[in-house]
Amino acid sequence: MRPSGRLHLGHLWGALDNWKRLQKEYECFYFVADWHALTTEYADTGALRENVEEMVIDWLAAGLDAEGSTLFVQSWVPEHAELNLLFMMLVPVPWLERVPTYKEQREALREKDLSTIGFLNYPLLQAADILIYKADCVPVGVDQQPHIEFTREVARRFNNFYGRVFPEPEALLTETPKLPGTDGRKMSKSYGNCIFLADTPEEVARKAKMMFTDPARKYRHDPGHPDTCPVFYYHGLYSGEEKQREIAPACRTAQIGCTDCKALLAEKLARAQEEYYERRRKIAAAKEGIWELLRAGSVRAREVAQATLAEVRQAMGLPGW
């Protein structure tokens, strides 16, 4: 995960909750992708350290466990860069140019100069990040699937030239809710519509009460359309399906007003946030412990990465020490 600072509920439901489950079933490696952050934020790195810290506090508060998984910082495992360099020797440039997100992102981030080698290379760095651990599976959303396919192609090309070193990883697609922001659009910092994991329960309740509802319901007596209402969606996650089943007909027949419906959600959200907020506060109070944990995780990750690289060097015929 790229360190972009404080995480929001979209991250919690879209990734962290899933990661937490996976660490019970798999040997998991989760890393702070600080080099990836540089692919777009190279010109302004002032907040990078703080962003790493805030993100990892959120990881831990959300239940990621340094015992159950290996949590580390990408740039502290320089083997990722060496493998990336070796891949550069065999991967044709057009493979990178045709990665769908390459053009899309350059369009979306027009204000930045993304004509850099680093930005073009990021899917290949990602392939190195995955293959260096000989990963069997990578938990991703559907939009990230082309990157896993790209990684498989890189593994195949390497194995064809030098003999089989890498397994071809599978995308581990999990149904994760796509949480709308408070204005109904995708939750994103750039839209200013986030509920942050670091928000106090009071702040969360305030944001819930200001949420957009069914845009077609202008007056209290208008019948609502719960299926297009973000508040209704949140009720499914925080109040439960039974409550949702109660709200749906009441909304459609205008028996319940949006103010009351949002007040109910605000209460549920604030209650869920209380526990999380308290855990986060305790973790944030011992910041040196977070860096310690990342250092220990990076040492563990390096052991695996170095073993893979030794195999890679040998397979490629590079001279040993």
Which residues lie near ligand SF4 (CB under 6 A)?
Answer: 213-214, 217, 224, 226, 229, 231-232, 247, 251, 256, 258, 261-262
Q: Quick one: 106 or 225, whose CB is closer to ligand SF4?
A: 225
Q: How many CA atoms lie within 13 A of 144 on its CB side?
A: 19
Q: Quick one: 16 or 265, whose CB is closer to ligand SF4?
A: 265
Query: Smallest distance, Å, CB 180 to ligand SF4?
Result: 12
From CA 23, how far away is CA 8, in angstroms rounded?
21
Query: Smallest distance, Å, CB 218 to ligand SF4?
Result: 11
Q: Quick one: 152 or 268, whose CB is closer to ligand SF4?
A: 268
Helix axes 201-209, 258-284, angle to 10 degrees: 150
Query: Smallest distance, Å, CB 187 to ligand SF4?
Result: 17
Query: Smallest distance, Å, CB 70 to ligand SF4?
Result: 42
Query: Smallest distance, Å, CB 267 to ligand SF4?
Result: 14
From CA 93, how far away is CA 98, in angstroms rounded?
9
End-to-end, the C-alpha distance of the chain in Å comes to 34
CA R_g for the chain: 22
Q: How many CB atoms lie within 10 A of CB 304?
A: 17
* Largest Cα span, the chain: 79
Q: Quick one: 3 or 184, whose CB is closer to ligand SF4?
A: 184
Q: How many CA atoms lie within 13 A of 130 on its CB side?
A: 28
Q: Quick one: 261 or 269, whose CB is closer to ligand SF4?
A: 261
Q: Quick one: 224 or 297, whose CB is closer to ligand SF4?
A: 224
Q: Which of 99, 132, 87, 106 is nearest to 40 (CA)?
A: 106
Query: Smallest distance, Å, CB 264 to ligand SF4?
Result: 8
Query: Smallest distance, Å, CB 101 to ligand SF4?
Result: 33
Render 212-228 in DSSP notation, one character per residue: ---TT--STTSPP-GGG
Q: Which of 249, 271, 272, 274 is nearest to 261 (CA)?
A: 249
